[in-house]
Structure 1
Amino acid sequence: MEVKSRRGDGALQCRIQIGPHAIVSDAPRTSGGEETGPEPHDLLAAALAACTSLTVTIYARRKSMDLQDIEVSIQHGQRGDTYELVRNIHYIGNLSAEERQRLTDIANKCPVHKTLSGQIQIVTEAH
């Protein structure tokens, strides 16, 4: 999958193309943006939240668990030299303590979590 970004209409707005999907990202007003879309770190947090929800839901369905809904919230920001993502998962349904623990174990194995927790290499090619 290729993701493309180009300048948008605002001072710092970016138009992002992800396959057939288009979204907008922007910076806050305090940084010279117009807040017409989420800032890049919000998109990163959103990727973790969405991947967590999807991964846990797929697992719970496969195991016939009574997961009726899942709410994932991510608090994020710079903390000293570290960028911190704090994930809070709320399981809704008739689940035992063991099932909740297993779902949390599965959440920690979602692909985005594994990517962010592992070694990342960024190769930049400028033309």
Structure 2
Amino acid sequence: MAKTNISASLKGNMAFEMEINGHKVTTDATVENGGNNLGPSPKALLLAGLIGCSGIDVMTITKKMRLEIEDVNVDIEAETREEDPKIYNYIKIIYRFKGKDLSYDKLERAVKLSMEKYCGVAAMLEKAVPITYEIKIEE
């Protein structure tokens, strides 16, 4: 079984610097929440992890499908509830693909496979919050 080990150290006030497999990442709270805004919030990093996880899956699957993708942009919209704990009410992912003769059906299959079978981040998050997605092909 694969294990993940992350170590973190306080860098002042509310900021933590983490060492993740040789990469340094800093998280912090916003100024309005008492931090110094030295990095993204932990919840924002969770969403970034979802983009990265699904994005890697989608690129792997579309390469196997031999789709000629020139560019992909992924956006997430997530609404936070007002009461504590301030969890997300929903997460919506928008995938924007550019390329030659892209098949919507194949792109949809690749995204669906990622979201329903391969992406571990999506599998964990959807136990707590509804996740939807949209696919757009841009010429």
Q: Which TM-score applies when normalising by structure 2? A: 0.76
Alignment of 1:85-96 (within 5 A): 85-94=91-100, 95-96=102-103
Contact in 1 for aligned 2:15/2:28 (Cα 8 Å): yes
Number of residue equivalences: 118
Q: Note the aligned Cα RMSD (angstroms).
A: 1.8
Matched, 1:97 2:104: yes
| 1:124 paired residue number | none
| 1:65 paired residue number | 67
Contact in 2 for aligned 1:52/1:72 (Cα 8 Å): no
Return the structure number with greater relative CO, CA threshold 8 A, min gap 6.
2
> Which stretches of structure 1, 4 residues or longer, exceed 2 Å deviation after superposition?
79-82
The sequence identity of aligned pairs, in percent, is: 24
- Quick one: distance in 2 between partners of 1:63 and 1:105? 14
How many angstroms does 1:80 deviate by? 6.0
Contact in 1 for aligned 2:30/2:37 (Cα 8 Å): yes
Alignment of 1:11-50 (within 5 A): 11-50=13-52
- The answer for unaligned runs of 5 or more in structure 2 is 129-139
- Quick one: distance in 2 between partners of 1:79 and 1:88? 21
